[in-house]
Structure 1
Amino acid sequence: MYPMPVEQWKSPVTRRLYKLSLPIALVIWLLPMIAVLVTSVRSTEELAEGNYWGWPKHFALIDNYREALTTSPMLHYFFNSVLITVPSVIGSIALASMAGFALATYRFRGNTALFATFVAGNFVPVQVLMIPVRDLSLQLGLFNTLSALILFHVSFQTGFCALFLRNFIKQLPFELIEAARIEGAGEWTVFVRIILPLIRPALAALTILVFTFVWNDYFWALCLTQGDDAAPLTVGVAALKGEWTTAWNLVSAGSILAALPSVAMFFAMQKHFVAGLTFGASKG
């Protein structure tokens, strides 16, 4: 049922080939990111000379990143991304935790159909929703506003989070909830005092996932915004492109700056993320 550990493989040649192939595959996978990182410290003169893949002769780390921050309103884009991401994460996690609790603990008519709706919603391609969502934002007067992006992300991420949390809560012993109800605890007390502490690893894992999805979103930010007023950081990086030529070192520096918050959050909450993914994986 489970893959055999590498140490238990019978053929020593196969084990050696496997261990040798891992660093090669890792380098190939990291090659685009390494290229972007090296380009972000390359000087404009070297790019003009055609030195795209060679090792930089002169490092322009401070100049490139300072110019990326000053030649375009990157701080404004960063602030917009924060205003979009934080409410979206809080709203989707809060709604999904309550929906997951209801779907996992209450038996009512339509429970299975409602849960199937959450599951089916995760299989809808986002490109199909582009025109209806854009038209709806125009009709409601929300186009090119932060509220449009927040509402869309909350509605779109809540389905996935509710599916995730419903399965986690379903694994909890129902006797804990019954015991709390017998002691006179209300449903809100059961949810806040018992369920939420027990699913804390799952909440941490979902927080990282939703934060990464929303922060790195480019498609919906491009569809629902126009100009710099409500544009997040992912769209703002495109503003670093020139009208006739593109300074790829500045674009690479802006891309690195845009990726830093999600990477930093993942490493800061790595233990909680792994615990949330392995929660309930073993008995006992």
Structure 2
Amino acid sequence: MTDITVDTPRAKARRAPREGGPSSGRRWVMPVVLTVISLIWLFPILLAVVNSFRDYAYTAKYGYVSWGGFTIDNYKNAWQQADFGIHFWNSLIITVPAVLLTLFLSCCVAFVVARFSYRFNLALLGFFLAANLLPPQALLIPVYRMFRAITVPLWVSDSGTLLNSFAGLILVNVAFQTGFCAFVLSNYMKALPRELYESAVIDGAGVLRQFFTITLPLCRPALAALAVLQTTWIYNEFFWATVLLQQGDKFPVTSSLNNLRGQFFTDNNLVAAGSMIVAIPTLIIFFVLQRHFVAGLTLGATKG
């Protein structure tokens, strides 16, 4: 004789998993910790934004952690003293070609590493990645002497060498950034279905056609994410610009912030205003490409 159990509402309630438990009371810990860390991280930036709109005399009297003395004169004075107009143009001349050339060369290297298998496959990728393993300060003297010895036409550089030229600064940025981009793109390309390339070979597509019509369109999310990162890194680059450029009218916008510092006195509110002006282009690029940037990071994380 079999027992027949009837599922009453009370019985279902007893069998249902109970919410809560030992860990339910700690669910609020992680959001609170992340909020506190975010506020600590954002506090210097918010303090710089607030003080960039404040008069230096007021902050000198009442301190930086105070409220009042607001003005927009810092932005006007910073734009005039740092001559941001010409330096923004210099940064554009340096950043755009460097980013485009870096991404194109990285795609070429990554395609060869991911698409073809041979003995020195990983060695080639490691060779391009080696530039990112050394601090730039360790290569200062060799790079400086090399650029001083390489002669170029006068229309490229007034000095006749790669020193004090936009071309030299573009080349050094490309050399240091290509390895990282090639490493990221090679891992992304390895996850692409090989059936696509096999079908392309059957249809008579050569290597160049496979590269331009199959690989590059499928790598757009990863390229967008790298474009945002590379634009930010190259635009904010300060070390090589200071070393390789010798004329003030060729400095990028980050190096022009030195014009806001006095010999015996520095108006920190003026420097904060100049820093906010310098940060505007990168913020615009990030928010414009935010969707592609997040998509590229997410897809890159799920690829094998």
Shared fold, TM over 0.5: yes
Alignment of 1:186-197 (within 5 A): 186-197=206-217
Contact 2:59 2:66 in 1 (8 A): no
Please name the residue that 2:247 is paired with.
227
Structure 2 CA distance for partners of 1:69 and 1:185, relative to 1, 3 Å: same
Alignment of 1:11-50 (within 5 A): 11-49=23-61
SS of residue paired to 1:233: coil
Are 1:60 and 2:71 matched, yes or no?
Answer: yes
Alignment of 1:1-284 (within 5 A): 10-49=22-61, 51-55=63-67, 57-61=68-72, 63-140=73-150, 141-279=161-299, 281-282=301-302
Structure 2 CA distance for partners of 1:40 and 1:171, relative to 1, 3 Å: same
Task: Provide the aligned length of Structure 1 versus Structure 2.
Answer: 275
Decide which structure has the larger Cα Rg and report it.
Answer: 2
Deviation at 1:152, TM superposition (A): 0.3
For residues 149-184 of structure 1, give each alpha carbon's deviation from its aligned partner in whole angstroms, at most 9, with x where no partner exists.
100011111111111111111110111111111111
Cα distance in structure 2, aligned partners of 1:120 and 1:151: 16
Deviation at 1:268, TM superposition (A): 1.0
Q: Which amino acid aligns with 1:73?
A: D
Divergent runs of 4+, >6 A? none
Please name the residue that 1:4 is paired with.
none
Cα distance in structure 2, aligned partners of 1:115 and 1:76: 38
Cα distance in structure 2, aligned partners of 1:197 and 1:102: 16
Cα distance in structure 1, aligned partners of 2:28 and 2:107: 46
SS of residue paired to 1:98: helix
SS of residue paired to 1:252: helix
Q: Which runs of 5+ in 1 are unaligned?
A: 1-6
Which range is displaced more, 101-110 or 206-215?
A: 101-110
For residues 109-151 of structure 1, give each alpha carbon's deviation from its aligned partner in whole angstroms, at most 9, with x where no partner exists.
4222212223333322222112211222222211122111100
Deviation at 1:50, TM superposition (A): 5.1
Deviation at 1:48, TM superposition (A): 4.1
Q: Which amino acid aligns with 2:211?
A: F
Deviation at 1:257, TM superposition (A): 0.8
Contact 1:9 1:15 in 2 (8 A): no
Cα distance in structure 1, aligned partners of 2:230 and 2:205: 32
Which range is displaced more, 85-94 or 274-283?
A: 274-283
Structure 2 CA distance for partners of 1:129 and 1:22, relative to 1, 3 Å: same
Report the identity percentage. 42
Contact 2:125 2:183 in 1 (8 A): yes
For residues 2-34 of structure 1, give each alpha carbon's deviation from its aligned partner in whole angstroms, at most 9, with x where no partner exists.
xxxxx9984344323333232222111111111
SS of residue paired to 1:217: coil
Cα distance in structure 2, aligned partners of 1:250 and 1:82: 23
Contact 1:144 1:229 in 2 (8 A): no
Cα distance in structure 2, aligned partners of 1:93 and 1:281: 19
Deviation at 1:185, TM superposition (A): 1.2
Cα distance in structure 2, aligned partners of 1:173 and 1:280: 15
Which range is displaced more, 37-46 or 201-210?
A: 37-46
Contact 1:217 1:234 in 2 (8 A): yes
Contact 2:224 2:293 in 1 (8 A): yes
Deviation at 1:234, TM superposition (A): 0.7
TM-score by length of 1: 0.90
TM-score by length of 2: 0.85
